[in-house]
Amino acid sequence: MRPNKRDELVRNALEVFYRDGFHATGMDKLVAETGISKTSMYKHFRTKDEMILAVLRLRDERFRNWFCRRVEEIADTPRARLLAVFDALHEWITSPRFKGCMFIKAVSEFQDPKDPIHIQSATHKRMLLEYVQTLATEARARDPAALARQLMLLKEGAIVTSVMLGNGSPAIEAKAAATVLIEAADCC
């Protein structure tokens, strides 16, 4: 089935925003890089912010589907899956297409917690936290919510540090720290 123009625009815009950032990417740049006219662009999106929200929804769907599926492929027990979070993270961070986290970038560019773009980005992170908390619950951690928050701090810190250092070693180091936290949480 041939994708419609709106879907094509969102997919192409995702690549441009991910590479260049949100504020640095204007409508003229999107027109030039996506090959879709301004008229067509404004037919589908009244504002650039509406387009950014559509891009974030697509990125969320793609990333969470890949991430959760990958964790499940790597490990077959809940405890092992908690550690596999960092194996999947390492795969992503060391991939040639890695340019940091689009959601971290979005909240840094749209800092008002009431901004819909900020909210969409925070929602993505909340859903990942819920996934990790489910794994911690299944692993019978003493306090699954606390363990999930701690593991997510390691995950997010590894992402930012990897961007700053330009390598994937922070994911490996985060996994080592996660091992200590998981053992201390009495996971089975």
| Residue spans per domain, the chain | 53-184
Residue with the larger pLDDT of the pair 40 and 158: 158
Number of helices and strands in the chain (H, E): 9, 0
Pairwise CA distance, residues 178 & 59, whole Å? 26
Confidence of residue 1 (pLDDT cuts 50, 70, 90): very low
Q: How many CA atoms lie within 13 A of 50 on its CB side?
A: 9
Instruction: Report whether 178 contacts 79 (CB < 8 A).
Output: no
What ranges in 25-115 are assigned the alpha helix state H?
27-34, 38-44, 48-74, 78-93, 102-109
Task: Kindly state the tokens that stand for 142.
Answer: 């003493």
Predicted local distance difference test score (pLDDT) of residue 2: 52
Domain spanning 53-184: CATH 3.50.50.60 = no
Predicted local distance difference test score (pLDDT) of residue 175: 98
Confidence of residue 6 (pLDDT cuts 50, 70, 90): confident
pTM score of the predicted model: 0.92
